[in-house]
Structure 1
Amino acid sequence: MEHAPAALPQLRPMSLGDMFDAAFRLYRRFFLTFIGIAALLQVPLAIAQMAVQLLVGGNLLTNWMRVVTRPGSTGSNPFENLPLGQIITYFALVFGLAMVQVLLTQSLMTGALANAVARAYTGRPVSIIQAYQIGWRRFFALVGAALATFLVGAVALGVLGGCTVGVGFLLLRSGNENAGILAGVLVAIAAFGLFALLILASMFFYTRLLLTTQAIVLEGQGPLAGLARSWRLTSGAFWRALAITVLMYILAYIIAGIPASVISFALQLLSAGDLTAVMRNQAIVSGVALLGQIIVIPLQLVIYTLLYYDLRMRKEGYDLELMAQQAASV
Structure 2
Amino acid sequence: MNDSPGWATPGSPSDGDRQGNPADQPGNDGGAQQPARPTGDPKWSAEQPPPGQWSSPGATPPADAPQPPPAQPAGGWGAQPGTPYGGQQAYPGGPGQWSQPLAAKPGVIPLRPLGLGEILDGSVATMRTHWRSVVPITLVVATVIQVISVLVQKFMLSDLPLSSTEDMTAEEAIDTLGSSLAVSVVNQFIQVLGTIVVTAMLTMIFSRAILGQHSSVSTAWREARPQLLRLIGLTLLLALGIILLGAVLVLPGALAGNIGLAVVGFAAWLPLIIWLGIKFSLASPALMLEKSTVIKAFTRSSKLVGGSWWRIFGITLLTSLIAFMVALMVVAPFQMVGIFAVGGGMDSLEDGSAQTAWGPLIFSGIGLIIAQTIIMPIQSGVTVLLYVDQRIRREGLDLELARAAGIENYGTTGG
Specify if TM > 0.5: yes
SS in 2 for 1:273: helix
Q: 2:331·2:368 contact (CA, 8 Å) conserved in 1?
A: yes
Report the RMSD for the aligned CA atoms in angstroms. 3.4
Higher helix proportion, which one? 1
Structure 2 CA distance for partners of 1:161 and 1:79, relative to 1, 3 Å: closer
Structure 2 CA distance for partners of 1:138 and 1:164, relative to 1, 3 Å: same
Q: 2:234·2:294 contact (CA, 8 Å) conserved in 1?
A: yes
In the alignment, is residue 306 of structure 1 matched against residue 385 of structure 2?
yes
Larger Rg: 2
**TM-score between the two structures when normalised by the length of structure 2:** 0.61
In the alignment, is residue 16 of structure 1 matched against residue 116 of structure 2?
yes
Structure 2 CA distance for partners of 1:277 and 1:292, relative to 1, 3 Å: same
Q: 1:122·1:324 contact (CA, 8 Å) conserved in 2?
A: no
In the alignment, is residue 47 of structure 1 matched against residue 153 of structure 2?
no
How many residue pairs get aligned? The number is 289
Q: 1:211·1:304 contact (CA, 8 Å) conserved in 2?
A: yes
d(CA) in 2 for partners of 1:22 and 1:153? Answer: 31
Q: 2:111·2:401 contact (CA, 8 Å) conserved in 1?
A: no
Q: Pick which of 21-30 and 187-196 moved more.
A: 187-196
- Listed as ranges, the gaps of 5+ residues in structure 1 are 1-5, 70-74, 170-186
From 225, 239, 246, the equivalent of 1:157 is 246
Instruction: For residue 291 of structure 1, report the CA deviation from its aligned partner.
Output: 1.9
- Listed as ranges, the gaps of 5+ residues in structure 2 are 1-41, 44-105, 406-415
Matching residue of 2:231: 142
Structure 2 CA distance for partners of 1:89 and 1:134, relative to 1, 3 Å: farther
Q: 1:114·1:301 contact (CA, 8 Å) conserved in 2?
A: yes
Matching residue of 1:100: 190
Instruction: For residue 265 of structure 1, report the CA deviation from its aligned partner.
Output: 5.9
d(CA) in 2 for partners of 1:221 and 1:153? Answer: 23
Structure 2 CA distance for partners of 1:263 and 1:105, relative to 1, 3 Å: closer
Over residues 205-250 of structure 1, what are the superposed CA-to-partner deviations in whole Å (9 max), with x where a residue is unaligned? 2211111110010001111221221111111111110111011011
Q: 1:52·1:90 contact (CA, 8 Å) conserved in 2?
A: no
2:356 aligned partner, one-letter code: M
Q: Pick which of 189-198 and 25-34 moved more.
A: 189-198
In the alignment, is residue 37 of structure 1 matched against residue 137 of structure 2?
yes
From 32, 56, 60, the equivalent of 2:159 is 60
Aligned residue runs from structure 1 range 196-207, under 5 A: 196-207=267-278
d(CA) in 2 for partners of 1:124 and 1:39? Answer: 22
d(CA) in 1 for partners of 2:403 and 2:288? Answer: 13
Structure 2 CA distance for partners of 1:42 and 1:320, relative to 1, 3 Å: farther
Matching residue of 2:16: none
Matching residue of 2:371: 292
From 328, 341, 352, the equivalent of 1:257 is 328
Over residues 44-64 of structure 1, what are the superposed CA-to-partner deviations in whole Å (9 max), with x where a residue is unaligned? 23212223333x246424xx4
d(CA) in 1 for partners of 2:150 and 2:321? Answer: 26
Structure 2 CA distance for partners of 1:50 and 1:219, relative to 1, 3 Å: same
**TM-score between the two structures when normalised by the length of structure 1:** 0.75
Structure 2 CA distance for partners of 1:323 and 1:286, relative to 1, 3 Å: farther
Over residues 300-329 of structure 1, what are the superposed CA-to-partner deviations in whole Å (9 max), with x where a residue is unaligned? 111221111111011011235458859xxx
2:196 aligned partner, one-letter code: S
Structure 2 CA distance for partners of 1:94 and 1:239, relative to 1, 3 Å: closer
Q: 2:146·2:369 contact (CA, 8 Å) conserved in 1?
A: yes
d(CA) in 2 for partners of 1:164 and 1:57? Answer: 31
d(CA) in 2 for partners of 1:195 and 1:290? Answer: 33
In the alignment, is residue 112 of structure 1 matched against residue 201 of structure 2?
yes
Instruction: For residue 266 of structure 1, report the CA deviation from its aligned partner.
Output: 6.7
Structure 2 CA distance for partners of 1:193 and 1:273, relative to 1, 3 Å: same
Matching residue of 1:234: 305
SS in 2 for 1:11: coil
Q: Pick which of 281-290 and 155-164 moved more.
A: 281-290
SS in 2 for 1:60: coil
Instruction: For residue 24 of structure 1, report the CA deviation from its aligned partner.
Output: 2.8
